[in-house]
Structure 1
Amino acid sequence: MSGPDPATLLEDVRNSPEGPAVGAFFDFDGTVIAGYSVAAFIRHHVKTLDLNASATVKTLLAGTQGIETEEDFVKFLGITLRLWAGRTPEELEKLGRQLFRDEIGPSVYPESWRLVRAHLERGHTVVLASSATRFQTDPAAKALGIPHQIYTAVEVGEDGRLTGHPDGRSPYGEGKAAAVKDFAAEHGVDLDQSFAYSNGNEDVAFLATVGRPTALNPSAGLRRAAAERGWPAVDLPGRPWTTPLQVARTVGTYAGMMGGFVTGLGLGLVGGSRRAGLNLGIGLGGDLSLLASGVQLDIHGGHHIWEAQPAVFLFNHQSQLDVLVLGGLLRGNFAPVAKKELATNPLFGPLMRLLETAFIDRSDNAQARKALEPAVERLRSGVSVVIAPEGTRSATPSPGTFKKGAFHVARQAGVPVVPLVFRNTGELMSRNAMVIHPGVVQVAVLPPIDVSSWDPSELDERVEEVRQQYLTTLANWPGED
């Protein structure tokens, strides 16, 4: 049956009872992420020549033939686990984090992320319930803030290495349903009030364990089962396809950015003011690049940008598109903050030096204040600075841990921090992509935060409070009540 859209699902969650007695069980592959996480591991092993040809063929054949029964899954799992035999759990944990950052994380459905956040805000017991191993699911659970997991346990031998066998029954099909019931009994979860989400027809028994099941992005088999049982079925929009036109527009985007910047800078220098030229170049370059890319800005709270300048502008970093958004949003009178290694980058170094970037030495922990001095100097000269407090691009819509450097800079310079929340730049240009897709980038500018009175002993807590503002804003976007 045709069911509600993702926005209606969110509303249902927000109107549901509060508290940990309500569970929210999310399947992983195909439900929280697009595609299958094991494929990233197989691609890695093939690329690094760490996988023999016979194992590769067997694994790919098992996948292409399809998995219809629990017996099929056990066979596929056996092939996969044999690839890991002899490795330590620590090796696979490290590999899992790397693959999540580079490949798996960017495929998280934004709509699924918002559902997870909505359940967490209601105080529900949220569980990632998957037949995958913890090497696949654990990085996702940590990044999404999911506190509980159900996964396939793997056997570790006396030598501390994987044996190539599962440890007990895998939570697949009826096994997942049984695991959910056991979890609910152990954690005091009322399954009749609980939610579950999955995309695969193997999860009919899993969905049937709860009172509020949803076939999310369902396969044909699950769609039929949902129609028979009266369950809602909701399709999620996929990632946009890359076309030759979008490649051409992206080339035009970078050309517009550089052309606008150079033109504005030149006009400013003719007028005798380098800073006026930089401001004009940033604004003109931002406008031309956004126009060429087909990206528009939908801004909430834009007046906060001008309330207290200079300031430290914070933004949640998702992709290279953020740079264009910053130019179109702030217009000028700001300098980026970047790690000092970028100063010698042959492609970006010259441009960043022209932008009067404050290069900081993030490895200089022993002299942290000195390392931050370039950014403080920019602020004291009347120029705002822009910092990504995560220090790198996040793999999912959920911002990572905030570093404290941006807040130290603001305190030393005596200026406020202004949070810029970018909702969907990662959807129009994913973390490691080169091509920009047209669309609307949503930006929320939060009120300036005075950090001058913050007690240094409470800095970790206060920084986390700011990060929570991002999470709350992203999950409850202004104007969508």
Structure 2
Amino acid sequence: MAAAAFFDLDRTLVRKASGPALSRAMRESGVVSNKLPGESLLYWWMNAFGETLGSIALARQAVLVAAGKPDGAFDDAARAAADVLVDQVGPFARILIDQHHAAGRKVVMATTTPYHLVKPLADALGFDDVIATRYAVGDNGKYNGRHDGRFVWSWGKLGAVKDWAREHDIDLKESFAYSDSVFDIPLLSAVGNPGAVNPDPRLLMVAIAKRWPILSFDAPPGTLTFPVVDIEARRLALMLTRPETFPYVRFEINGLDNIPADGPVILAGNHRSYFDMATMAVVVGRTGRGASFLAKREIFDVPVLGGVMRLLGGVRVDRDHRDPNAADPLEEAAVALAGGDLVGVMPQGTIPRGLDFFSDQLEGYPGTARLAAMTKAPVIPFALSGTEVVWPRAASMPNVLSFLNPPKIVVNIGTPVELKYRSEKADTRRIMDAISAQLPKDAKNLKPTSIDEVASTYPGGKIPQADLPAIEQAIADNTAKGRRKRST
């Protein structure tokens, strides 16, 4: 048997109730003349807390509004409302619809809203079918004030979905369903893959108890959006990550306008310190955008921290492929970009150590170039310097006591890298050269002149014995060059 994916409409596919757009379109088309009493308050409550028994009672009685009007009288209003509502569909809902289609599943809108009002929207979104409340039409070709079949709500919605599944030979245990409403628990419980999308308070508690996925179609899968208030955790974190949060450092950020205000962006830069992530949070926070970011597996393996990173938009990169069941990080990042997200990446993969730390000829992995080729998202290069003073690799904690003389962190952001998409190796070189070009002058041509300088680039400040001879020779050469320069 085949599988299907069933999507609720209000506060699920569209961010808020569809009623205001439908009501406005019906008034403007002349098919109805006045607002219903208390309509504005009802929709406000629904947008904030989800559907109520009162709103459903009103929806049941709406069939009487259509009574006596000819079949097709609402078509113009339905098409006009669809033009408005299609822009309110979350970007990741569209991606999920495409993914279900790619997996061979039928995608079905399952909603209480009358069929004749939502069919144009379902068509515009590429749905295969619509399960919705239908109004009966009499022999005279006019709506007769009665329902045609089930009122598609709660257990009635489950019954309608079961009828449709039997007709189309669909296995519900292999199927998916998405809804915001506690009243859709019967349907969510009937499928093998339920999803609570922007759940109302009661559904939220049930979803937590049953360990159902809690989703938002405005944010990439896996990131946390606080239900009811509908605020992304990552955006909240960025709002709180401001320069004032770090009084022990000074930030100089140049080229911030090079980051587009919206649309897919790959932000690629160098890696100097454990403090780089906090620095880039300050940068992205100033753009007002949310962001996903790629980080190495070891960070996600840390208890508690790894889970928090995931909820804040982290994408786990397992370069050693230790987990054969792990998701492809580039595929995850590509989904985020397809939804218009900003994705941060440091192509070096880790903080360079030893003599490589001081080189401005940066080397990187090809994943960033591959992601750019997959998505055609612009790659914006950035370069950091000074973060290593705040938190050198040798230290277990950052220096948070430098209030009187805080070190300066410089972030330079460039314009999009011109890529050819013909060779990952060549495009990786273009990306790394663009990052190098953004390095401040005092971060170029660095020459270590002491063992302590180099030791600060290693975990725990310990230089491996195998690296020591080359380091000592380089320091001796740099010191000799320094003497000759001073003598001239």
Q: Which has the higher contact order (CA 8 A, sep 6+)?
A: 1
Q: TM-score range by the shorter chain?
A: 0.3 to 0.5
Larger Rg: 2
Instruction: Point out the structure with the larger helix share.
Output: 1
Q: How does the TM-score come out when normalised to structure 2?
A: 0.44
Q: How does the TM-score come out when normalised to structure 1?
A: 0.44
